[in-house]
Amino acid sequence: GVQTCALPIWVSEPGSSVNLSVALQPKAPFRVDRFHYNAFIALTCLDFLSDFSPGGFSLKWPNDLYWGDKKIGGILTENIISAGEWAWAVTGIGLNINQSAFPEGLAGAVSLKMATGLPHDPEELARQLHKLILLRMEEKIDVEKIMKRFNANLYKKGQSVKLKKGTIAFNTTISGVDEYGRLITEDAVERFFSVGEVEWMPASTE
Instruction: Provide DSSP, 148-190.
Output: HHHHHTBTTBTSEEEEEETTEEEEEEEEEE-TTS-EEEESSSE
Residue type, 55: G
Cis bond upstream, residue 62 (ω within 30): yes
Which pLDDT belongs to residue 108?
87
Dist CA 173 CA 185 (whole Å): 5
Average pLDDT over residues 124-128: 97
Q: Mind listing the pLDDT tens digit for each residue in 62-111?
A: 999 999 999 999 999 999 999 989 999 999 999 999 998 776 666 689 99
Which pLDDT belongs to residue 7?
41
Q: pTM above 0.85?
A: yes
DSSP conformation class of 75: E
Residue 11: pLDDT over 70 = no
- Return the minimum-mean-pLDDT range out of 12-21, 51-60, 109-118, 152-161: 12-21
Dist CA 108 CA 102 (whole Å): 9
Per the prediction, the chain carries an average pLDDT of 90
Which pLDDT belongs to residue 107?
61
